[in-house]
A and B are shown apart, each in its own frame.
Chain A
Amino acid sequence: MLLSFLAITAIAVVRLRDLFAVVMLFGIFSLLSAAIFVTLDAVDVAFTEAAVGAGISTVLMLATLTLTTRTESPPRHGTLLPLLVVCVTGGALVYGTLDMPRFGDPQAPIHQHVAPRYLQDSPAEIGLPNVVTSVLASYRGYDTLGEVTVIFTAGTGVLMLLGAIRRRTARRDDTGKGGSAMNHNLVLRVVAKILIPFVLLFALYVQFHGDFGPGGGFQAGVIFAAAFILYTLIFGLDAARAVASPGVLRVLSALGVLIFAGVGLAGIFAGGDFLGYGVLASHPVAGQHLGILLIELGVGTTVAAVMITIFYLFSGRTR
C-alpha cells in the first residue's frame, strides 16, 4: 500500500507544473520511501533517507526555487517519443526481472556467499551489534573513504560555483537574509532556541550510538547540519556566520577526510594493512572499536561541515 502511495506521488510530480508543489511532493516521496525501508528491515537506510532526502535535498531545492522561477513552462516538444523510450526501457527491465528470485526468498543467491560470513564472523572479529556499521566501517571501509571524499569534492565544487561574493549589492544589510529573516517572530525564535540544543544532542547521540542501533556518521552529520540550518533560517545568515564561520567549516570538512585517511595510514605504520584497525590497540577487537569510532567521527565531521557550507552558499546567493 505504501508503494501505491509512492506511485501516486510520482505521477503527481510528473503532471504538476508548480515547482513549489513538486518539491513538496518530493519531500513526501522521500518520507514514504523511508517508511518502506523500515518495513523492509533497512533501518539505517531509512534513517539516512529520511534525514537526507526529506531534509537536505528538499531544503536545497527550495533555496534553488527562490533563485529561479516558480512554475514550469508548458512542454514544447511532443511527449510521444520520451513515452516510447520509457516504455521500451521499462519493458526490457521487467523482462529482466522474470528470472530474479522471488521477494523475501531466503535461498536467493545474494544471501548465500558473503553476507552469512559477515553476519556470523562480525561478533567475533568486530564485536558490534550493528552489522551495517561494522560492514560499512571495517569490512568495506575503503568504499566509505571514497564516499567521504565524494562529499568533500561536492562541497568543493559548490564552493567553486557559488563561492564568489557578488559585490553589486550592498554588503551590510540590517536584517540577515534580506527581509526574510524571521527573527522578528517571537514564537519561532523561542521554540528554535529551545529545540536546537536538543537537536545537537540528538546528533551526538546518533553519532556514537551507531554501533548499537541505527545511526552512525552520515546520519549524525546531517542532523547536526540541520540544527545549524534551522538557526540560519530563523536568525539570518549573518548571525549564523558569526556562530559557525565559513573558514572554520572549510577546515573541518577537510579535517574529517584527513582523520579517516590518517587512521588508515596509522594502520600501515603500526604494521598492518591500510585501514586495518586490528593493529591499532593491544587487542584486535579493541583496535576495531577504536578505528571505527575514529572514522565515524571523521565522516560525521565532514558531512556536517560540507552540508552547512553548501547551505550557506545557497542562501548567500539570494541577497
Chain B
Amino acid sequence: MATVLGLYNYWIAIFLMMTGFYVVIAHGNLVKKIVGLNIFQVAVFILYISMGKVRGGSAPILAEGVTSYSNPLPHVLILTAIVVGVATTALGLALVIRINEAYGTVEEDDIHSQDEPE
C-alpha cells in the first residue's frame, strides 16, 4: 500500500502519457494528433516535476526561515521543454495548414489515398 501511495504520481503521469500516445497513433486527424502530442508532453512534465518535489519543502525561491527547498533543476529543464514544445506545436500546426491547402483534407487516410495512385 505504501508502494502504491509512493508511486501513484508516476503512474498517473504514465497513464496520461499513454493517453496522449494513443491519441497520436490511433486517430487519423492531424490536428487531433498534435493535441495528443501536447498532452503527452504535459504528462512528461508532470512526471519530472513530481520527481523534484521534496516533502515539506517550499518553492525554490530563497527566503528567510525556510530550510528545505524543492529541487530547482527539474524546473529549469521543464521550463525549457515547455517553450520548445510550443515552438514545435506552432511549426506542426503551420505544416497542417499547408497540408490542408495542398490536399484539401487533414485526415491521414485521405492523404495517403491521394498519394498512392501516383
A131 touching B62, Cβ below 8 Å: yes
Bound: A214/B26 CA distance, A: 38
Contact with A along B65-90 (1 / 0, CB 8 A): 00011111111101110111111111
Interface residues of A, dominant DSSP = helix
B35 touching A61, Cβ below 8 Å: yes
A-side interface residues, number (CB < 8 Å): 96
- On chain B, the residues within 8 Å of A314 by CB distance are 93-94, 97
A22 touching B32, Cβ below 8 Å: yes
Interface residues of B, dominant DSSP = helix
Bound: A14/B23 CA distance, A: 6
B16 touching A132, Cβ below 8 Å: no
Complex interface: stretch among A98-106, A199-207, A268-276, A289-297: A98-106
Tier of interface size on chain B? 35 or more
- On chain B, the residues within 8 Å of A83 by CB distance are 22, 26
- On chain B, the residues within 8 Å of A115 by CB distance are 71-73
A60 touching B18, Cβ below 8 Å: no
Residues of B within 8 A of A (CB): 2-3, 5-12, 14-23, 25-29, 31-32, 34-36, 38-39, 42, 45-46, 49-63, 68-76, 78-80, 82-91, 93-98, 100, 105-107, 109
List 13 other contacts, CB 8 Å, given A52-B85, A129-B62, A158-B94: A13-B19, A14-B36, A43-B59, A68-B31, A69-B105, A73-B29, A75-B28, A77-B28, A103-B53, A118-B73, A132-B79, A158-B90, A310-B90
